[in-house]
């Protein structure tokens, strides 16, 4: 089972404006492009075999920049798209609270129990993620997975075999450009490759 680097794309103008992005196709902002360059520096010594991403922005352009800087191939895979948050998309946080107060309170506490109007559920997203990642997880040893929130957190839960949870879309702007490593064999999470690889190998060997 591989080690997966979950890479959150750089920020977009929607992130900077505290708007819900969901499945909207929004390009990187100048700040987001800088964040991707910083991610590349952290990944420079990582033995990545492939970068997986959806075709939509900002994940696709983030993956392309990383590919150019690191010399790692990119594969766009259907099924990795961000959660469709329906009528919430494009709205600012305060607008959401005014228009959907009850649903937003529930979504902040138990996001998996709420389907945004005209959107899709957490379970819908998890099902397509599982199908999309099945073959790459068998094929590669070290994968870079470029995904925005909330789909990045859903992928993390799936890799750890935990109950599905979704990052509330009201809280995603602070996670742009973040990086974490998941060892799918030992179910360890770390923020640097060496620690998750070393501890994961030790557990695998019974140490």
What sign for the dihedral angle of Cα 180, 38, 148, 54?
negative
pLDDT for residue 167: 62
Per-residue confidence band for 94, with pLDDT thresholds at 50, 70 and 90: confident
pLDDT 10s digits, 23-66: 999 999 999 999 999 999 999 999 999 999 999 999 999 999 99
Question: CB of 181 within 8 A of CB of 190?
Answer: yes
pLDDT at 93 over 80: yes
pLDDT for residue 203: 63
Phi, psi for 196 (deg, rounded to 5): -70, -35
Report the candidate in 162, 192, 195 with the shortest Cα–Cα distance to residue 180.
192
pLDDT 10s digits, 126-144: 999 999 999 999 999 999 9
Distance, in Å, from the CA atom of 169 to the CA atom of 203, rounded to the nearest integer, reads: 35
pLDDT for residue 112: 81
Distance, in Å, from the CA atom of 92 to the CA atom of 19, rounded to the nearest integer, reads: 4
Percent of the chain whose predicted confidence (pLDDT) is above 90 = 72
pLDDT for residue 206: 57
| CATH assignment at residue 174 | 3.40.50.1240
Report the candidate in 46, 42, 62, 29 with the shortest Cα–Cα distance to residue 152.
62
Q: What is the number of structural domains in the chain?
A: 1
Give me the domain span that covers residue 62. 3-204
pLDDT for residue 109: 81
Q: Kindly tell me the burial class for residue 104, based on how many C-beta atoms sit within 10 Å of its own C-beta (0-12, 13-18, 19 or more).
A: buried
**pTM of this prediction?**
0.92
pLDDT for residue 156: 94
Lowest mean pLDDT among 3-17, 94-108, 145-159, 176-190: 94-108
pLDDT at 205 over 80: no
Question: Residue 151 has which token pair?
Answer: 């789909």
């Amino acid at each position: 089972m591989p080690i997966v680097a979950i890479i959150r794309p750089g920020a977009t103008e929607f992130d900077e404006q505290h708007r819900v992005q969901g499945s909207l196709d929004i390009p990187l902002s100048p700040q987001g492009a800088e964040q991707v360059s910083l991610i590349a520096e952290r990944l420079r010594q990582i033995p990545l075999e492939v970068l997986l991403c959806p075709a939509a922005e900002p994940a696709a352009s983030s993956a392309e920049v990383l590919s150019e800087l690191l010399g790692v191939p990119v594969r766009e895979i259907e099924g990795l798209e961000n959660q469709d948050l329906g009528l919430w998309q494009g709205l600012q946080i305060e607008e959401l609270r005014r228009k959907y107060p009850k649903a937003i309170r529930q979504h902040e506490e138990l996001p998996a129990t709420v389907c945004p109007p005209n959107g899709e559920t957490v379970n819908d997203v998890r099902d397509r993620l599982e199908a999309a990642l099945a073959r790459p997880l068998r094929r590669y040893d070290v994968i870079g997975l470029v995904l925005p929130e909330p789909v990045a957190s859903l992928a993390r839960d799936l890799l750890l075999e935990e109950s599905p949870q979704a990052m509330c879309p009201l809280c995603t702007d602070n996670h742009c450009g973040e990086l974490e490593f998941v060892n799918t064999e030992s179910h360890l999470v770390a923020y640097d490759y060496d620690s998750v690889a070393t501890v994961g190998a030790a557990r695998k060997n019974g140490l």
